[in-house]
Structure 1
Amino acid sequence: MDTKALDYIALTLVIIGAINWGLIGFFQFDLVAMLFGGMASWISRVIYAAVGIAGLYALTMFGKISNSRMNS
């Protein structure tokens, strides 16, 4: 898979996670749990895990940003 495509997928998942956490923080409403059958359902757990992995992958984007600034 192309690294750029993986970056966009990770960014999309991180944004979904950020929106979900915002909803939880402001309104005590877990959109992922509501859409996919609660926090204990397997699909919700897969989504939470994918968002978590995407967040960890997004940490590598800091290195890409600093490398692109050095090359400019």
Structure 2
Amino acid sequence: MKWFDNTALTLVIIGAANWLLVGIFRFDLVAFLFGNLSWFARIIYTLVGLCGLYLISLYGRMDTMSDSTSS
């Protein structure tokens, strides 16, 4: 499951970088590369959003991970 956590984290970081570009330069990289709300861009936005929601579970697992590594 660690590969899924790493993949989800990578997608969320890419999404955060895209939002940074939108906020500072009003430049949406996903829309630029794949078209403004094309079906592929919508899939990317959906995947990033789902990964972000999945990573909420990381809060609950952080205590478990730190307990198992400190033993």
Q: Identity rate of aligned residues, in percent?
A: 52
Structure 2 unmatched runs, 5+: none
Q: 1:69 aligns with which of 63, 66, 70?
A: 66
Please give the TM-score of this superposition, normalised by the length of structure 1: 0.89
Structure 1 unmatched runs, 5+: none
Off by >4 Å, runs of 4+ in structure 1: none
- State the distance in 2 between where 1:65 and 1:14 align: 18
User: How far off is 1:50 after superposition?
Assistant: 0.1
User: How far off is 1:11 after superposition?
Assistant: 0.5
Please give the TM-score of this superposition, normalised by the length of structure 2: 0.90
Task: Report the counterpart of residue 50 of structure 1 in structure 2.
Answer: 47
Instruction: Please report the RMSD computed on the Cα atoms of aligned residues, expressed in angstroms.
Output: 0.9
